[in-house]
């Protein structure tokens, strides 16, 4: 596949995923929606593994990776689907823009692989300031918004630390096998969550909710991961990081246009702080020489 096509596809998938989550959860109940999505994802992965004749590795490191990614997926998705009742899809995308900052902090503390320089600390500070602005702007959106934001932030932390855990394991299994293993670990947990929160099949699933569930199961849970891993293998990390700068804005706009979600000034300002903090965190060391060349001492 062409790398530009893969890049544009991942932006489109990540931009539409929060809105699809909201539509599916509101239409069929959050626990049933996420359980159905994961079940579809497992079925699609099983079919692809059979067609491509890929056998998921079962050695200790692979199993450890499946466990880490599956538990992270369950904790993240369960909270995101629950909080989608109270938080707009655009805000979900904005807060997930914090994930690279938290991942970097976790890697520095857990993996000892990088130091927290001035640009990284400044980026994290801006991200925290943006988080507070988004939280302040979201409190006026209705009852339950505060708990929704808290749950969403916990979901972001779980995802970020899950990535650090997976990196620490260092498994090199095929991406499709890792996706299948992760979904296989997470699926029974989602079933238990559905059984505990709901436990019965919806009487009726609205058409929009059904389409959103299938879309998330096939595109969000399988195709998105495969394209992302493909880019990691063939594209520079700096270019991939641009996705995290684009998707929060496109998700905000999609939620506003397609779902009539209000976007308050504090939310736009908070999103700008988070995105600038992410850019400073990622490219700060490259900006200083660039500025020095254009602003020489007189």
Segment-wise mean pLDDT, segments of 10 residues, the chain, 298 residues: 82 90 85 93 94 92 92 94 87 81 76 64 74 67 76 90 84 86 94 87 86 93 82 66 77 85 76 76 59 50
| The pLDDT of residue 211 | 94
| The pLDDT of residue 292 | 46
| The pLDDT of residue 60 | 93
| The pLDDT of residue 251 | 85
| The pLDDT of residue 291 | 46
Three-state SS string over the chain comes to CCHHHHHHHHHHHHHHHHHHHHHHHHHHCHHHHHHHHHHHHHHHHHHHHHHHCCCCCCCHHHHHHHHHHHHHHHHHHHHHHHHCCCCCHHHHHHHHCCHHHHHHHHHHHHHCCCCCCHHHHHHHHHHHHHHHHHHHHHHHHCCCHHHHHHHHHHHHHHHHHHHHHHHHHCCCCCHHHHHHHHHHHHHHHHHHHHHHHCCCCCCCCCHHHHHHHHHHHHHHHHHHHHHHHHHHHHCCHHHHHCHHHHHHHHHHHHHHHHHCCCCCHHHHHHHHHHHHHHHHHHHHHHHHHHHHHHCCCC
| The pLDDT of residue 202 | 82
Model confidence, pTM: 0.83
| The pLDDT of residue 298 | 46
């Amino acid at each position: 596949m062409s790398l530009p096509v893969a890049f544009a596809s991942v932006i489109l998938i990540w931009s539409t995923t929060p809105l699809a989550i909201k539509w599916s959860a509101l239409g069929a109940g959050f626990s049933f929606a996420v359980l159905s999505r994961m079940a579809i994802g497992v079925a699609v992965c099983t079919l692809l593994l059979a067609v491509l004749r890929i056998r998921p590795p079962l050695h200790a490191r692979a199993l450890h990776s499946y466990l880490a990614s599956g538990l992270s997926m369950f904790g993240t998705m369960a909270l995101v689907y629950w909080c989608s009742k109270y938080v707009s899809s655009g805000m979900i995308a904005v807060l997930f823009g914090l994930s690279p900052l938290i991942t970097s902090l976790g890697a520095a503390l857990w993996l000892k692989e990088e130091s927290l320089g001035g640009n990284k600390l400044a980026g994290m500070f801006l991200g925290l300031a943006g988080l507070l602005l988004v939280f302040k702007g979201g409190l006026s959106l209705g009852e339950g918004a505060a708990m929704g934001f808290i749950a969403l932030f916990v979901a972001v932390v779980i995802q970020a630390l899950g990535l650090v855990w997976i990196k620490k394991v260092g498994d090199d299994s095929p991406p499709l096998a890792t996706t299948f293993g992760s979904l296989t670990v997470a699926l029974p947990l989602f079933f238990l969550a559905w059984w505990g929160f709901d436990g019965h099949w919806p009487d009726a699933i609205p058409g929009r909710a059904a389409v959103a569930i299938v879309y998330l199961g096939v595109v969000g849970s399988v195709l998105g991961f495969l394209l992302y891993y493909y880019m990691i293998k063939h594209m520079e990390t700096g270019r991939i990081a641009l996705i995290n700068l684009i998707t929060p804005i496109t998700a905000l706009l999609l939620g506003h246009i397609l779902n009539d979600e209000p976007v308050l000034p504090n939310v736009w300002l908070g999103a700008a702080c988070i995105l600038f903090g992410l850019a400073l965190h990622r490219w700060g060391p490259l900006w200083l020489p660039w500025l020095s060349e254009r602003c020489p001492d007189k």
